[in-house]
């Protein structure tokens, strides 16, 4: 798969000769270019978004079925390097007219060929960076699967490419779209601050494929869900982490598929994650089991049913439970990747920033990589030094002159994220 950067699409900022030599565009000019790119990516409300999926593996198959069933999108193409893989996914996705769905080996080329509005990228993590960079510079909005990419330096690079192109890039952190998660977030806003939150995941799984040989598979495959959910629910960001991993003798995984991690959060609270694919019996749901302890109440959620919200006041507890009971049935509302797709298409139609945009997602991914480092080194890892080390590695590896110059101009990664957040209003 080529990592060549395509010529920018109309409406997307293209660096001039001086900028290509290493001088980033002024902040105001870049903001204007980003606004133009968002307008260029805007999807009319009177038709579904035209979607190409790159990657025809298990996740690509799931995405194809969701796009076909979606009220806001239509599947116009599937790309994969493996001959016959796109056709296999098309045959099983339930499309009314399978012959109308184009196939190809390169997702960006196919998206340009068929005039796609969106590229969905559920390729293997190592392909996330090159595919996303090509798409952004071609003016194609990207809805990427988690993790944002393979490494933290690559993730920081993608933040830079998103800034210089202004083309929307959202990472599908699908747990945020469960209505129960939003209810927990509201509870914390009304009854916080929190002091300690825990998420416990236990499901005996002997996955085939790359996870068997992946370093820290529990943290990298499942931890990211809980870490992003914690940031969203608690409204706080990570400061530091300690973590330990375990590989019992009966495990089929080469590395630790059992882990415990304790994060210190920016408001002084603690978030504790325990996860395992090695324990049989008493399984949790994929969303983990949650307990949130706050100043004015405690919430629990089994990961599937309705949250249980309690306070020291009986009347307030009764009011909270009545409020939960009045909410629409969670099963009647879109969730997971179906809701991610709706959010991305809606944001493009409204020319606004989608939830889980790459800037917002970066700290969730940093939590994973910090926990990995804590396991590897057996010590407490602070987030900001890890980000700065990754930034320097990203600069050294970057081949795009404007992206490299932009990263060199950053005082710190945290400052960039804070400035982005402030700009969202």
Domain with residue 283: its CATH number is 3.30.360.10
Which alpha helices (DSSP H) does 327-400 contain, by range?
A: 336-350, 358-377, 383-397
Per cent of the chain over pLDDT 70 is 92
Give every CB contact of residue 3 below 8 A, 6+ residues apart in sequence: 130, 133, 134
Do 189 and 291 have their domain in common? Answer: yes
Statement: residue 91 has pLDDT above 80: yes
Span between the terminal Cα atoms of the chain, in Å:
38
Q: Rounded to an integer, what distance in angstroms lies between the CA atom of residue 184 and that of residue 305?
A: 12
Q: Using 50, 70 and 90 to split pLDDT, how confident is the model at 5? A: very low
Please give the pLDDT value at position 40.
73
Q: Would you put residue 46 in left (φ > 0), alpha (ψ -120 to 50) or beta?
A: alpha
Q: Rounded to an integer, what distance in angstroms lies between the CA atom of residue 184 and that of residue 170?
A: 23
Do 188 and 143 have their domain in common? Answer: no
Tokens of 174: 């699908």
Do 391 and 260 have their domain in common? Answer: no
Higher pLDDT, residue 396 or 4: 396
Statement: residue 355 has pLDDT above 90: yes
Statement: residue 283 has pLDDT above 50: yes
Q: Could you list the residue range(s) of the whole structural domain that residue 183 is in? A: 176-330
Over the chain, what is the mean pLDDT?
A: 91
Higher pLDDT, residue 352 or 5: 352
Do 309 and 202 have their domain in common? Answer: yes
Do 208 and 308 have their domain in common? Answer: yes
Do 180 and 142 have their domain in common? Answer: no
Please give the pLDDT value at position 36.
74
Is 205 within 8 Å of 233 (Cβ atoms)? Answer: no
- DSSP line for 157-171: HHHHHHHHH---EEE
pTM of the model: 0.90
Q: Which of 313, 300, 351 is nearest to 45 (CA)?
A: 351
Q: Rounded to an integer, what distance in angstroms lies between the CA atom of residue 23 and that of residue 28?
A: 14
The answer to whether position 355 is within a domain reads yes
Statement: residue 359 has pLDDT above 90: yes
Q: Rounded to an integer, what distance in angstroms lies between the CA atom of residue 27 and that of residue 66?
A: 38
Do 170 and 274 have their domain in common? Answer: no
Q: What is the pLDDT of residues 30-65, one digit of tens each?
A: 677 677 777 777 888 889 999 999 999 999 999 999
> Lowest-pLDDT range, 12-26, 77-91, 149-163, 266-280?
12-26
Domains of the chain: total:
2
Do 164 and 261 have their domain in common? Answer: no
Do 164 and 300 have their domain in common? Answer: no
Residue with tokens 């909410």: 327
The answer to whether position 404 is within a domain reads yes
> Lowest-pLDDT range, 74-83, 218-227, 332-341?
332-341
Statement: residue 12 has pLDDT above 60: no
């Amino acid at each position: 798969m080529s990592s060549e950067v395509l010529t920018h699409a109309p409406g997307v900022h293209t660096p001039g000769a001086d900028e290509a030599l290493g001088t980033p565009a002024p902040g105001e000019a870049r903001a204007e270019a980003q606004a133009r790119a968002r307008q260029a990516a805007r999807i009319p409300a009177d038709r579904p978004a035209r979607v190409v999926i790159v990657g025809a593996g298990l996740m690509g198959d799931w995405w194809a079925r969701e796009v076909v069933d979606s009220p806001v999108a239509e599947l116009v193409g599937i790309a994969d390097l493996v001959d016959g893989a796109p056709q296999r996914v098309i045959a099983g996705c339930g499309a009314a007219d399978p012959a109308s769905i184009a196939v190809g080996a390169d997702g960006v080329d196919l998206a340009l060929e068929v005039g796609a509005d969106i590229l969905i990228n559920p390729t293997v993590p190592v392909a996330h960076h090159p595919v996303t960079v090509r798409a952004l510079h071609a003016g194609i909005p990207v809805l990427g699967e988690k993790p944002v990419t393979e490494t933290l330096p690559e993730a920081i690079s993608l933040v830079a490419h998103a800034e210089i192109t202004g083309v929307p890039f959202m990472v599908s952190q699908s747990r945020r779209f469960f209505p129960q998660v939003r209810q927990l977030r509201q509870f914390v806003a009304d009854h916080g601050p929190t002091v300690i939150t825990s998420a416990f995941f236990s499901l005996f799984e002997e996955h085939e494929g790359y996870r068997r040989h992946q370093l820290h598979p529990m943290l990298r495959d499942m931890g990211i869900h809980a870490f992003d959910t914690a940031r969203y629910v608690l409204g706080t960001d990570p400061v530091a982490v300690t973590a330990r991993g375990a590989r019992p003798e009966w495990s089929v995984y080469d590395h630790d598929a059992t882990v415990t991690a304790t994060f210190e959060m920016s408001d002084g609270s603690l978030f504790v994650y325990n996860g395992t694919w090695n324990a049989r019996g008493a399984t949790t749901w994929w969303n983990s089991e949650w307990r949130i302890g706050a100043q004015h109440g405690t919430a629990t959620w089994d990961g599937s049913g309705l949250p249980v919200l309690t306070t020291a006041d009986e009347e307030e507890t009764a009011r909270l439970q009545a409020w939960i009971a009045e909410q629409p049935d969670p099963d009647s509302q879109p969730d997971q990747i179906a809701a991610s797709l709706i959010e991305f298409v809606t944001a493009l139609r409204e020319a606004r920033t989608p939830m889980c945009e790459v800037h917002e997602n970066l700290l969730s991914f940093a939590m994973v990589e910090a926990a990995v480092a804590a396991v590897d080194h057996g010590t407490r890892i602070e987030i900001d030094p890890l980000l700065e080390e990754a930034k320097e590695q990203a600069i050294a590896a970057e081949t795009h002159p404007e992206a490299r110059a932009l990263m060199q101009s950053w005082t710190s990664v945290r400052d960039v994220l804070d400035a982005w957040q402030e700009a969202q209003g």
